A = this chain, B = another copy of it.
């Protein structure tokens, strides 16, 4: 998950159902009572006619031959490849792997070339020199410049917020700024990772060390993208651990002089060639119309990228497999897109949008899973009121899984351009209380995934995508 999602999450209202099924049925009955036959009742009836097929999908995944397959596919994939950052050889291997795996699965697969950023971490390290020597666990941030080979050694100034930084403006020149901001929420607190370096550089800092954006730590550094502001000097930026940020804060609070040396071999190479990986089940009636399911195939260069976002990519593939296994073929095309270079700002998805937006009227629904594939809680959806009414009916088909909640605000860096342009968008709300404990860290591995939870995500994903792709009409805009 990239930091673009911050904005969307910040705009999210509290979770509640935007349309009440009770209200809807009351209105429908009143209309029927008047002798009117409302479109809504036909739609509800049409969606309800998918109850059997939804049950078949759920059964196949939760207790049939597809059981635990999502987990198996994800572990086969991430164990074989490992992490796969934008521009890396591993990402190339990952794309080839998924191209082959989905082709062998009998899907219609192709690759769409894109250019992506190629930032490399290089050798890096940080240590406290004064008041006592101590190695600092750290991870340089994506897009950061490196340091000279001998590193940058300077006294630190510790700040707890951007305001605190400004209040120390006279004391920042030539210093390393340590941001020790408290964790409030990811969308709010990630601003320090994203903008900390440029804000510090404006006041003359020589490097920025930012407390990792996490509510919990076992001395674990978390990486991620950061954005240099145009016209501001580019200084090296890295995340350190919560523990070390708090340690330095206590030391400076005691009046101690804290000196740190940071060394980073980070550099940005010319853009690399890459691909969005696309697999399809072509629609039998309207092959040009598309329900798109997606997740991103790239990850950070730590851990396995199992949670962010191997799981989202795999359930998007898996949803197609399930439909194929059941011998189904919807009216419209179901298209799984495995994005490249999401973590660098939805780069692959942006180029996909530019290429395909000419056909935007044929995009029925765009879906992305990029908040983990833990136990699903609800479907998040952005669309017109009329579209919400349809989706409200669709999620009732998930009653056997007890996940019939529709929530406002579909989200996902990669589907955002389509949603901004008015295409209905959906995403997966999962029980994710520990998501940010592992996010962008060495802890993002298969060990956080559960076969049962992944099955539930895949079943939900397949039911929603298939039914929307097979309804008589596209979702109303």
Give residues in A with beta carbon < 8 Å to B.
75-76, 79-82, 131-132, 134, 137, 217-220, 242-243, 246-247, 250-251, 254, 303-304, 437-438, 441-443, 445-447
List chain B residues, Cβ under 8 A from A445.
219, 243, 246-247
Please pick, from B80, B219, B446, the residue contacting A220 in the complex, using a CB distance under 8 A: B219
- In the assembly, what is the distance between CA of A9 and CA of B190, in Å? 43
List chain B residues, Cβ under 8 A from A132.
80-82
**Given A131-B80, A132-B82, are A441 and B247 also a contact pair (CB < 8 Å)?**
no
Q: Smallest distance from the beta carbon of A240 to chain B beta carbons, Å? A: 12
List chain B residues, Cβ under 8 A from A437.
218
- In the assembly, what is the distance between CA of A317 and CA of B75, in Å? 51
List chain B residues, Cβ under 8 A from A242.
447
- In the assembly, what is the distance between CA of A224 and CA of B441, in Å? 25
Per assembly, the copies of the chain total 2
- In the assembly, what is the distance between CA of A218 and CA of B442, in Å? 7
Which single residue of chain B is at the shortest CB-CB distance from A437? B218
Q: Smallest distance from the beta carbon of A23 to chain B beta carbons, Å? A: 44
- In the assembly, what is the distance between CA of A441 and CA of B438, in Å? 17
List chain B residues, Cβ under 8 A from A443.
217-219, 243
Q: Smallest distance from the beta carbon of A47 to chain B beta carbons, Å? A: 40
Does the CB pair B75–A250 fall under 8 Å?
A: yes
**Given A75-B250, A79-B250, A82-B134, are A218 and B441 also a contact pair (CB < 8 Å)?**
yes
Which single residue of chain B is at the shortest CB-CB distance from A220? B218
Task: Among A75, A303, A438, find the residue whose CB has the most chain B CB atoms closer than 10 A.
Answer: A75
Closest 3 CB pairs of A and B: A218-B443, A219-B442, A243-B445
Which single residue of chain B is at the shortest CB-CB distance from A441? B218
Task: Among A219, A304, A441, A442, find the residue whose CB has the most chain B CB atoms closer than 10 A.
Answer: A219
Question: Beyond the given A79-B247, A218-B441, A246-B447, could you list 14 further A-B residue pairs with CB under 8 A, ordered by the A residue number?
Answer: A75-B250, A80-B131, A80-B132, A82-B134, A217-B218, A218-B220, A218-B437, A218-B438, A219-B220, A219-B303, A219-B443, A242-B447, A243-B447, A246-B446
